[in-house]
């Protein structure tokens, strides 16, 4: 299966117009991200100074750091 990279605005774009797009100059691509794997390995890391971090938190209830609500629920 071959996919093509094509950028267009879909706000006023109908299917008939899409079929009329000239794809002859577009290079084939297998997927949208052709640069390779950009993700790091999912390896847990130990934070060396946990107690110092917890000392700076205004509201800590083991094992949670409580924060104020920041989303507007309207």
pLDDT at 13 over 80: no
Mean pLDDT of 20-36: 76
Q: Kindly list the distances between the CA atom of residue 59 and the CA atoms of 49, 62, 63, 70, in Å, as whole numbers in the listed order.
A: 18, 10, 11, 15
Position 33 scores a pLDDT of 62
Report residue 22: phi and psi, to 5°.
-80, 115
Position 1 scores a pLDDT of 47
With 0.85 as the threshold, say if the pTM is over it.
no
Question: pLDDT-based confidence at 47, cuts 50/70/90?
Answer: confident
- The predicted-structure confidence for 54-63, as pLDDT tens digits, reads as follows 899 989 999 8
């Amino acid at each position: 299966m071959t996919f093509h990279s094509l950028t267009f605005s879909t706000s006023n774009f109908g299917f008939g117009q899409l079929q009329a797009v000239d794809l002859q100059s577009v290079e084939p691509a297998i997927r949208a991200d052709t640069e390779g794997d950009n993700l790091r390995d999912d390896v847990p890391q130990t934070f060396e100074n946990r107690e110092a971090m917890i000392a700076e938190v205004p509201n800590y209830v083991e094992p949670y750091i409580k924060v104020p609500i920041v989303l507007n629920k309207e």
